[in-house]
Amino acid sequence: QQPVQSPQAVILREGEDAVINCSSSKALYSVHWYRQKHGEAPVFLMILLKGGEQKGHDKISASFNEKKQQSSLYLTASQLSYSGTYFCGTESSASNTGKLIFGQGTTLQVKP
Amino acid sequence: DARVTQTPRDKVTEMGQEVTMRCQPILGHNTVFWYRQTMMQGLELLAYFRNRAPLDDSGMPKDRFSAEMPDATLATLKIQPSEPRDSAVYFCASGLFGQGPSTDTQYFGPGTRLTVL
C-alpha cells in the first residue's frame, strides 16, 4: 500500500517554513526521506526508525509518530536549493529487506 | 565518493526493438533495486536482488521485461520487445541490507531515460 503524502505541492518564499507529511495504513518499521531535483536522481536525506528519535541536519528535520504511522519532514527557513520533489519511502518489515514503497511525492518550489 | 552508475543515460529506440540497461552498484552493497519513474505512476519498484539472487520481481511485466545480475558488479534490465508505454526513466539503486537492524538506505543511480517511438 502506497503511503500518502500531503500536500501535493507547495510554493514558498525564501526564509519561510514548510511541513510535508507522509501517512501509511500499515505498521511501519522505518521511513526514508529523499529529495529529487528535476532531471536528477532521488537523493537520500534521512531515515527514521521505529523507536528512534527525531532526526535533523542543517535546517531540515523529521519526526516519526509510530502510533499514527505518520512521518513529517520540516524545512525551516527555506532556501532556493530546497526546491524539488520530496518523497517518503516506507518499510513495513523489521526483517530489513530494504524494500521501500514510495509516496507520490510533494513538489516544493522556493521563490526569491 | 562511491556512486551507482547506469548506462546508457539516454536511449531512443523504435517500438519492437530490444533495450538493455546496465547498472553498476556501489562496491560492497548486496542489494540492487530497479525502479521505473513516470509522471503518472511515480516511482514503481520493478524488481530487486539480494546477493545476485532475485527476491521480488512482481512489479515487472513478465512477458517483455527481464532482470539479471550476471555478477556482483553488474545488473541488467532488458525489455524485448519495447513499446511506447515503456517510455520512462529507469533507476537502479543499491544498498546493504539483511544483516540485522540497519540504518542503511538505498542509493540511486542517475537513471536511464528511455523513449520508445
| Lowest-confidence region among A68-72, B15-19, B64-68 | A68-72
Whether B26 maps to a domain, the answer reads yes
Tally C-beta pairs within 8 A across A and B.
Answer: 57
Read off the pLDDT band of B41 (50, 70, 90).
confident
Residue B20 lies in a domain: yes
pLDDT at B104: 79
- Identify the domain containing residue B59 by its residue range: 14-98
Mutation choice for A interface testing from B106, B107, B112, B113 by most A CBs within 10 A: B106
Q: Is A87 on the interface with B (CB under 8 A)?
A: yes
Mean pLDDT of A103-110: 96
Q: Report whether pLDDT(A100) > 80.
A: yes
Q: How many domains does chain B have?
A: 1
Predicted local confidence at residue A44, as pLDDT = 92
Give the amino acid at A110. Answer: V
Q: Would residue B59 count as lying in a domain?
A: yes
Whether the pLDDT of residue A57 is over 90: the answer is no
Kindly state whether residue B4 falls inside one of the protein's structural domains.
no
- CATH code, domain with B20: 2.60.40.10
Q: Above 80 in pLDDT, residue A85?
A: yes
Of B95, B99, B111, the CB nearest to A41: B111
In order of start, what are the domains of chain A with their CATH numbers?
4-111 (2.60.40.10)
pLDDT of A62 > 80? The answer is yes
Residue with cell 521511513: A31
Task: Work out the average pLDDT over A60-77.
Answer: 92
pLDDT at B1: 73
Percent of chain B at pLDDT exceeding 70: 96
pLDDT of A14 higher than 70: yes
Report if residue B30 sits inside a domain. Answer: yes
Min CA distance, A14 vs chain B (Å)?
27
Percent of chain B with pLDDT over 90: 80
Chain B residues in contact with chain A using a Cβ-Cβ cutoff of 8 Å: 31, 33, 42-43, 45, 48, 50, 55-56, 91, 95, 97-111
Nearest to A47 among B33, B105, B111 (CB): B105
pLDDT at B72 over 70: yes
In a domain, B105, yes or no: no
Interface membership of A84 toward B (CB under 8 Å): no
Q: Nearest by CB to A44, which of B55, B107, B109?
A: B107
pLDDT band of residue A1 (cuts 50, 70, 90) is: confident
Q: What is the pLDDT of residue B40?
A: 87
pLDDT band at A50 (very low <50, low <70, confident <90, very high): confident
Task: Return the SS3 of A82.
Answer: helix
Residues 40-69 of chain A with CB under 8 A from chain B are 40-44, 47, 49
Task: Using CA coordinates, name the residue in chain B closest to A98.
Answer: B97
Question: Peptide bond preceding A3: is omega within 30 degrees of 0, i.e. cis?
Answer: no
Percent of all residues in chain A with a pLDDT value above 70, rounded to a whole number: 92
**Reported confidence tier of residue B62, pLDDT bands at 50, 70, 90:** confident
Is residue B56 a part of any domain in this protein?
yes
In a domain, B93, yes or no: yes
Evaluate if residue B102 carries a pLDDT over 80: no
pLDDT at A94 over 70: no
Residue A19 has a pLDDT of 97
SS3 annotation, chain B: CCCCEEECCEEEECCCCCEEEEEECCCCCCEEEEEEEECCCEEEEEEEEECCEEEECCCCCCCCEEEEEEECCEEEEEECCCCHHHCEEEEEEEECCCCCCCCCCCEECCCEEEEEC
